[in-house]
Structure 1
Amino acid sequence: MRVLRANGVKLNWREDGDPAGVPVVFANSLGTDLRLWDQILPLLPSGLRIIRFDKRGHGLSDCPPAPYAMADLVSDAEALLDGLGISDCVFVGLSIGGMIGQGLAARRPDLIRALVLSNTAAKMGEAAMWQARIDAIRAGGIEALADAVMERWFSPAFLARPELSAWRNMLTRTPVEGYIGCCHAIAGADLTESTKALTLPTLAIAGSDDGASPPDLVQGTAAMIAGSRFTVIDGAGHLPCVEDPAAYAALLTDFLKEHAHV
């Protein structure tokens, strides 16, 4: 494991691939860590410098007390990339990771050459919904909501697979303060105006069975960005890189060949 102090927090990060290659940075969803991307990495082209990190409150990174703001998470990613000497990267963000990507692209266009927005939106849910989730976790822990979250994350077919337990465990082992902190960040974030101003190449990916960020929501955000592409992975839920890594990697590979010239 490798740790870098960024924006006042220690972030766990990992590098794979070619250290001299085109940088591709992956940002995880709420309740997951950098292992989210394990299955797709062997399927991507060679010649990439692949960076993954645990956002604050998740995985092996520091967990400051809640609440967090989206600006905090964007600043963490900004400081990480600056600390690693990364610019002109392809940024792949899923769910809250996609919100971080939108915010970072708006703030520091020099850092990102192309953007992949997976299962995400400029605004995700209403503040009252997130507050209800926060209250429920304060009362009963993440375990109390775990089964409902699995149903939002995964398709019915995946819910019957034995590996579901590993993802449920990843969720329930997320630090409560980290999970709640990121819930606050999502609840307070509306990136509509800054996302409308983006002009960089963008690929938006949705899962047909996503109960957390349905395809229409993802498509609506994609439509804000001139020239963006939108695609749906059939039969996948909120984490299509887990449910259908081959299809997901194929989409990324085509996008990387065009915009990272690998």
Structure 2
Amino acid sequence: MNIARLKSVDLHWREDGDPAGVPVVFGNSLGTDLRLWDKIIPLLPASGLRLIRFDKRGHGLSSCPKPPYSMEALCEDAEELLQQIGITSCIFVGLSIGGCIGQLLASRRPDLVKGLVLSNSAAKMGTTQMWEERIERIHTGGMESIADAVLQRWFGDAFRRTDEAILWRNMMTRTPADGYTGCSAALAASDLTASTSKLTLPVLGIGGEYDLASPPDIVRATTQLIPGSRYVEIADAGHLPCVEHPQDYAGHLMTFLKEDLHVGTL
């Protein structure tokens, strides 16, 4: 385990793969930690890729500053982390709010982000009213009060009946309420449409057929804001297709790295 002592937060991060490889940075969804990518990492090449994961503020083993947060602050956390660990160019794979962080980081630092995967993410996720209502519900009833509704958005019916779904429910409910509501406030206030539409880097959009949190149509629409981008959809998957269908997910990621970014001899 590693901890990066940044200006306003301490971020937990992990490195796998090849220390000399092309950096690929993974950003997690709301209510999850870096274990979101546990099924994907073993499916990627052991050489040629330096795989970086981190817990955003208020999640996992990172510190939890007092909310609310802003998307700019979350982006600055990621930027400062990469600077501290010596990454000057990377491919950013962001899921949900992780994809929002990736969009903003790519806009602010085109020199740093050379390729972007927008997984189950959009330029504008949900409405301000929706996020404010969710924040209020958590303030009133705690994380448990939203757990079942969130799992319906995360996974398809079949996966929700598995024992593994219990683990993901536990991960979400054990997320600090301040961390979850802080990031929810960032989503409520954020609309990245203008800046994302100006991006010019290679982009892959990934949607899930049954995603109720970021429906495929809005993921596709955000992807299409960026010239030359492409979109794929994973069948029978909800908001976290890297968990439900890791083989398919890793396959799309590898195709993007090889064909769009021409990464080494992968």
Q: Give me the TM-score of the superposition, normalised by structure 1.
A: 0.99
The match for 1:12 is 12
Percent identity reads 63
The match for 1:42 is 42
Tell me the distance in 2 between the aligned counterparts of 1:5 and 1:249. Answer: 31
The match for 1:255 is 256
Tell me the distance in 2 between the aligned counterparts of 1:76 and 1:170. Answer: 22
The match for 2:109 is 108
List per-residue Cα deviations over 1:33-70 (Å, max 9, x = no partner).
00000001111123110000000000000100110000
Tell me the distance in 2 between the aligned counterparts of 1:56 and 1:197. Answer: 27
List per-residue Cα deviations over 1:176-225 (Å, max 9, x = no partner).
00000000000000000000000000000000010100000100101100
What letter corresponds to residue 160 of structure 2 in structure 1?
Answer: L
How many residue pairs get aligned? The number is: 262
List per-residue Cα deviations over 1:130-160 (Å, max 9, x = no partner).
0000000000001011001000110111111
Unaligned runs of 5+ in 2: none
Matched, 1:99 2:100: yes
Q: Cα distance, 1:243 vs. partner? A: 0.1
List per-residue Cα deviations over 1:5-30 (Å, max 9, x = no partner).
22421100000011000000000000
What letter corresponds to residue 32 of structure 2 in structure 1?
Answer: T
Q: Cα distance, 1:87 vs. partner? A: 2.0
The match for 1:82 is 83
TM-align CA RMSD: 0.7
Task: State the SS of the aligned residue for 1:79.
Answer: helix
TM superposition outliers: structure 1 runs of 4+ over 4 Å: none
Tell me the distance in 2 between the aligned counterparts of 1:147 and 1:205. Answer: 24
Q: Give me the TM-score of the superposition, normalised by structure 2.
A: 0.97
Tell me the distance in 2 between the aligned counterparts of 1:151 and 1:256. Answer: 31
Match runs of 1:46-195 below 5 Å: 46-195=47-196
Tell me the distance in 2 between the aligned counterparts of 1:104 and 1:69. Answer: 13
The match for 1:201 is 202
The match for 1:219 is 220
Task: State the SS of the aligned residue for 2:232.
Answer: strand
1:7·1:75 contact (CA, 8 Å) conserved in 2? no
Tell me the distance in 1 between the aligned counterparts of 2:187 and 2:6. Answer: 20
What letter corresponds to residue 12 of structure 2 in structure 1?
Answer: N
Tell me the distance in 1 between the aligned counterparts of 2:68 and 2:56. Answer: 14
